[in-house]
Each structure stands twice: as C-alpha cells, then as structure tokens.
Amino acid sequence: MDTLELKNILIEEINQIEDKSFLTALRTIIESKIKKENLYEEYNSEILKAEEDIENGYTISHDDVKGKIDEWKKK
C-alpha cells in the first residue's frame, strides 16, 4: 500500500466518525506533526544561513561578544 492509498483509506474512515472529541484529538495530533515538520525546516534553514555567514567571514570573536556585554552592563 502506497502513501496515496493510505491517505484515501484514512479519509474514508474519518468521514464515518461522528465522535467530535475523537476528531478533535485526531486534529491535534495532525497539527502537532505539521508544526514539528515546520520547526525542523526552520531549524535547518537557520543552520544553513549560519554556515553561509561563517563561510563569508560574518563572525564575531568570543572576546568581542564579552566586551559588548560588559559595555551593556555599564549602561
């Protein structure tokens, strides 16, 4: 059974369910899966951007960061 067949079977079975609380729970599960996938995509995108920044020399040393923090603390 391929993914499309499985989706179609699930759609048919879900259409037969009348229990609102069960359908709400199922919706929560599906939304959670979608959000998780989106988070992975965002995470991977941010990692790729950071790697590009490093390759292009857009970095700051640890000592420079510590110096900036010290300046902020004085304000």
- Specify if 2 maps to a domain: no
- Specify if 5 maps to a domain: no
CB atoms within 10 A of CB 26: 14
- Specify if 7 maps to a domain: no
Q: What is the CA radius of gyration of the chain?
A: 24
> Rounded to an integer, what distance in angstroms lies between the CA atom of residue 20 and that of residue 26?
10
Q: Is 17 within 8 Å of 23 (Cβ atoms)? A: yes
> Rounded to an integer, what distance in angstroms lies between the CA atom of residue 74 and that of residue 70?
7
Number of folded domains that form the chain? 1
The pLDDT of residue 40 is 86
- Specify if 43 maps to a domain: yes
The pLDDT of residue 41 is 87
- Specify if 32 maps to a domain: yes
- Specify if 4 maps to a domain: no
The pLDDT of residue 2 is 95
> Rounded to an integer, what distance in angstroms lies between the CA atom of residue 12 and that of residue 28?
19
23-64 confidence digits (pLDDT tens): 999 999 999 998 888 888 899 999 999 999 999 999 999 999
Full residue range of the structural domain in which residue 44 is found: 20-74
